[in-house]
Amino acid sequence: MTTPRYLTKSRFKLATECPTKLFYTGKKDIYPDTKLDDPFLQALADGGYQVGELAKCYYAGGVEVSTLDYDEAERQTRELLKEESVIIYEPAIRFHNLFIRVDILVKHRNRIELIEVKAKSYSMETDGDFMAKRDKRVASNWRPYLYDVAFQKYVLSNAFPEFDVSSYLLLVDKNAVAATSGLNQKFRIKTDTDGRKRVVVSDAISHQDLENKLLVKINTDEAVQVIYDTELTSGFPKNTFIENIGALAELYEKDLRIAPVIGRKCKDCEFRCSAELEKKGYLNGVKQCWKEQLRWQDGDFDQPTVLDIWNFRGAQKCLEQGVIKLTQVTKDDIGEVDSLNAGLQPRERQWLQVEKAQNNDSSIYFDAESLRQEMNGWVYPLHFIDFETNAMAIPFYQGMKPYEGIAFQFSHHLLHADGKIEHAGEFLNTNQGEFPNFEFVRELKRQLEKDEGTIFRYSSHENTYLNKIHQQLKASTEPDALELCDFIKSITRSTASSTETWIGTRCMVDLIELVKSYYYDPRTNGSNSIKQVLPAILASSSYLQNKYAGAVYGTADQPSNNFECQTWIQFDSAGNLIDPYKLLPKMFKGISDHDAELLSNVDELNNGGMALTAYGLLQFVEMSDYERAELNAALLKYCELDTLAMVMIVEAWREWIKNGIATEAA
């Protein structure tokens, strides 16, 4: 029997991003999907599991429609709706070729509340009625969530016209505080005998645990009406939101492809598959769209486009004007450049990327003199630190707010003036239910206060989290809170959300800002991610290749806490340098290499990342001591490589300045 081709809320959400995606979705044997395949790992990363079950606690006494069979789920739902008053979890609603599963449905007589639960945080002060301040349209950051609700309300209202339907978002309240400690550990993840994962709520959950509601219910009826009146009016088959629901459902049911409209959105399309998969016979959805609209041939895709330009906000305008390839881009497309400040300015860097592509110039840009001046202010030994963090929707302790930052791991490398490196220390606390932040800072302080050496981070992440812990310490009763706060202020700068302003006397140097200002390698294709910069640096530095070619890392000369006689310079059968991150042991058992690769790059997942997801597993999933030890060991290696990568970047720069880059980057 053929499975019905219903337009569900997830498929409708996909279509609102790009209608053509409806034709590609669900055909992984033809069009590979580069989004995370494992919904469990994604839900674990964004906190969706725990929030969904907490919502049911606030709406206790409901009946769950758990069957996956469309017809049976719909039958059970209709029977339940015959009751005068009922709460239903995951009811199945069908209207023609539209099908939804509502998170929570509350029915009393002829009134129905449709409640969509999201792990997104909300504040009445900043988010209000979800409307943009500059016009009468829905705010862009809330649009995907409200599209979801609007679609569900349309289906439910038409399937049961005899009921008065109101719609709501149930969101994580930014301003709520936990009434008790240990609430987050009362939502554990277990695997059923059929392999399905589910959250089990502890019998020990109490009235006091639920006394302070961490979720807030916000009516969306007005916002939904605005969506019906104003949204999806261009680039879609029909002229209105409601008309397009029907049109998209019909096209999906008939498996018809909607003519594509190319744009900036194509850069992040999940149907942009790799060259390796294409060689195996899979199809690249983005290529198909661009071939149709631009009449491109396969060879055209070998040339970089405006979508490859780093941080380029003018990409959409260029595409609309027919400026697609970098060979077509002019300085006017990039815009005026203000060169008053030292180092590359963003538009200068963008034009440098374009110019090198136009001239087939693979040489490295390296501002040795400016970087030399920066280095003259550094104090040895140099310290390199990297944090692994998380933010749980359900707080650890009484008085904490949702999504308060958790810093559970750091790695710390030293680079001495004579070139010696060592993995000087680390911290890891993944113990279930323990709040690690204060001990984290104590250990960081202990390791960094031994000298006055310059401290490096990569991006603003470490500075942001130390600011968060500073606020947590100020609100705590820790006996050394003042001392720890002073330490944090000494190595950071205040953020916009801080109530006071400071710049530490030993404020961390942001290595990514030095990359942006003084270094560009075309091998990175415009990316400044350390996972792109490291392979590029290794490929262009003979110094690094010689230093790390043998099994020298994790020896007396290059001490390591987690590696023994590791060789970082390795080549594949084609003679290409292997990315060191691909030499790490697999962190997760039983997931695809595809998912592991996505999780290793935090840029690929808005709320994901390898370490973040591993921390969630260690907190909420039942596993053996052996599995826990293996996962912790993998976390330690992963974080250590992050700080070693920072060391390697600085080592290469020092050598280029000393000997001249021309000898390194032929």
Which stretch of DSSP H or E encloses residue 116? strand 111-122
User: Strand, coil or helix: what is 111?
Assistant: strand
- Rounded to whole angstroms, the Cα distance separating 321 from 311 reads 19
Residue 111 neighbours by CB under 8 Å, 6+ apart:
163, 164, 166
Which of 532, 525, 518 shows the shortest CA–CA distance to 654? 518
Topology adopted by domain 372-510? Nucleotidyltransferase; domain 5 (3.30.420)
- Rounded to whole angstroms, the Cα distance separating 314 from 333 reads 7
Look up residue 150 and give its two tokens.
Answer: 């609007």
- Rounded to whole angstroms, the Cα distance separating 394 from 172 reads 9
pLDDT over 60 at 483, yes or no:
yes
- Rounded to whole angstroms, the Cα distance separating 394 from 188 reads 12
**CA distances for 64 relative to 56, 87, 191, 612, angstroms:** 10, 9, 18, 30
Q: Cβ distance 224 to 177 under 8 Å?
A: no
Look up residue 509 and give its two tokens.
Answer: 């140097």
Q: pLDDT (tens digit, 9 = 90+) per residue, 357-405?
A: 999 999 999 999 999 999 999 999 999 999 999 888 998 888 889 998 8
Which residue type occupies 143? R
Look up residue 651 and give its two tokens.
Answer: 């080592």
Looking at every residue in the chain, the average pLDDT score rounds to 90
- Dmax over Cα atoms in the chain, in whole Å? 83
Burial 379-412 (b: 16+ CB within 10 A, else e): eebbbbbbbbbbebbbbbbeebebbbbbbbbbbb
Q: pLDDT (tens digit, 9 = 90+) per residue, 54-73?
A: 999 999 999 999 998 999 99
Predicted confidence at residue 617, as pLDDT, reads 82
CB-based burial label for 222 (10 Å; 0-12, 13-18, 19+): exposed
pLDDT band at 623 (very low <50, low <70, confident <90, very high): confident
Kindly list the domain boundaries of the chain, sorted by start residue.
Answer: 9-176+213-253, 264-364, 372-510, 521-663
- Rounded to whole angstroms, the Cα distance separating 177 from 594 reads 38
pTM for the whole structure:
0.91
- Apex CA 417: angle with CA 415 and CA 422, to 5°? 25
Q: pLDDT (tens digit, 9 = 90+) per residue, 249-298?
A: 999 999 999 999 999 999 989 998 888 889 999 999 999 999 999 999 99
The three state secondary structure string of 322-391 is CCCEHHHCCHHHHCCCCCCCCCCCHHHHHHHHHHHHHCCCCCCEECHHHHHHHHHCCCCCEEEEEEEEEE
